[in-house]
Structure 1
Amino acid sequence: MTIVSNDPSWWPVIEENRFSSYFIVAAFVAVVYDWALTFGQEVELVWRQRWSLMTFLYLAARYLGILSAALTVLSTLPTISLTDTDWIGVFVFAMLWVIIITRLHAMYQGSRKILIFLIATFLAVNIFDGVVVIMSTMHVSGEQYILSGTYMCQFNFPEDALRLGSITWILATVWEVLALCLAVWIAVKHFRELRRHSAGGIIGDCFSVLIKTHMAYFASFVAVSCFTLVIQLSPTMLADEYSLETQTLNGFGQISTVVQAFVLGPRLILGVREYHAKLVANSDAASPMTSIAFQERVHVSTNSSV
């Protein structure tokens, strides 16, 4: 159904749609710029290397990110639905968590207990997320508007969709905090052992790279969670969705989500591969290492037993 109106009462809606489009375009530009900036590294460190699970995860996260950002920019067109980008987001974040699980499994020297624990929690959270998206998309309805010559779509979600969305973000936040704590714990443990045995060097540098890339990714996730939860749980924001504050928080939340998933996510792999490539090029000391973090099963030899 298409509604055509020139009623001035719709002008706040038109302004909100125009204002949010600036952030959408900015997020798309950020993804494309980062892709262009790292394309040379991608060719050397991904396309020309032996293909593995991490290769497919990197390419999927990178190019699904560009597709998702482009679809969001085109979401005002009749043929593009926001539910398309919702499903892309679910798949990409699931892949990012697989990357993090692989990193943690490697950092814990292939511990089966850690792997089982991470997979169990990963499945629980992602199954819940998938059910929420299915429930939301099954009951979503949409209308097309042409307001004062401006085309836009309005999607109406079920009443409990907002509450379920808040729960999914809370669960995701708990999982991310848990993953960060596990990474920091094992890194601190390794650094202490290396200092005790005066055996720093390659192993310590490898863990430093892993922690730095993880911390950057986690910081972005914290920003996304804060923006999302404030908007979804604040009565003031919910009461006035067209206010400048609400629109601005929505915009920065969208940019943070895109940067986390489609910029920092792929860099979880690219950063460590870059470190490994430099290590191989500059030192023969890399040869005894079975494979540093994502080349593509990370096992770093230390004196610890996990």
Structure 2
Amino acid sequence: MSGSLHLIGVSCCVACLFVRFDKVYIKRLILLYLAPVRSGLAEIQAISGTENDMNVIRSYDTTEVLQDLSLVLLVTTFVLLLPVLFGISGLYINKLWLIAIFIVITGILVVAKTTLIITSSLSTDLVKGWIKDPLMTSLQTRYRGDLARDSISVTWNMVMTKFSCCGVDSGRDFKFSRFRRDFTLRVFNQTLLLSNLQTPIACCNSASRTTSFEPGACAKYPIQREHTHYFEGCFEKIWNSLSQYSGEMILSAVGICAVQVLQVILACVYVELLKRDRKDQIQQQSRTYRKGSDFFFPSVTEE
């Protein structure tokens, strides 16, 4: 069980390096998962009269989008492997202070993870707030619009198209966003300039993007639910899709904590045995010294 825990730590380390520096294979996996979305992006570019989505996909940089995930994996690696380094080193060279550091660090991490598990179970809104804040910052400060080519904007467009949603909580999130609010729309060989958009075109459903009745109204006046996803936030949809695995994630976290508690108990037992062994060695050396003293100084013993 302990070996499995260490294997998880090594796997997180490898995944962290892979996510942080790979720009080929992870992009293929993401684009494979979001394959249906590409048609939506191509449709938006087609009605704007721009080139197809291939150039956007080629310039898509997963390392920029997943940098927060790489940080999470790095912290997980630290949590799982750092105490092990102290523990193994202490066992190998029989140094009590190294084993003591292992016990202290592991104990602190167990308490922290237990607190996080309880908080996640009892205060869901608090956890949601931790996740929502950086997402809202990303949407309002780094999202540039439907036709933007930077990785953050492309990711938001793919997510909103994939999950049929708009913004983090709703389309109101775009009120303070810096996205480009002008969009050139081509419908039936005619060019129409839309201005003061309330949401990106990606927030519209597929049918209403090219409707002949007031084209682009779904983004400029997002009031009809059948034409826009303005009232459906992406966060809740993604959260609900992940919540079905919440039980397994909590059980895994509890299992890791249980293994680390067992490691702490065994380390404490080993420290106690090591102390007794050293005490026995000192007593044995003391007896040997006394026997030598009796041999060389018999008068001292007789007295």
What TM-score do you get using the length of structure 2 for normalisation?
0.29
Q: What TM-score, normalized by structure 1, do the two folds share?
A: 0.28
- Say which structure, 1 or 2, has more relative contact order (CA 8 Å, 6+ apart): 1
Larger Rg: 2
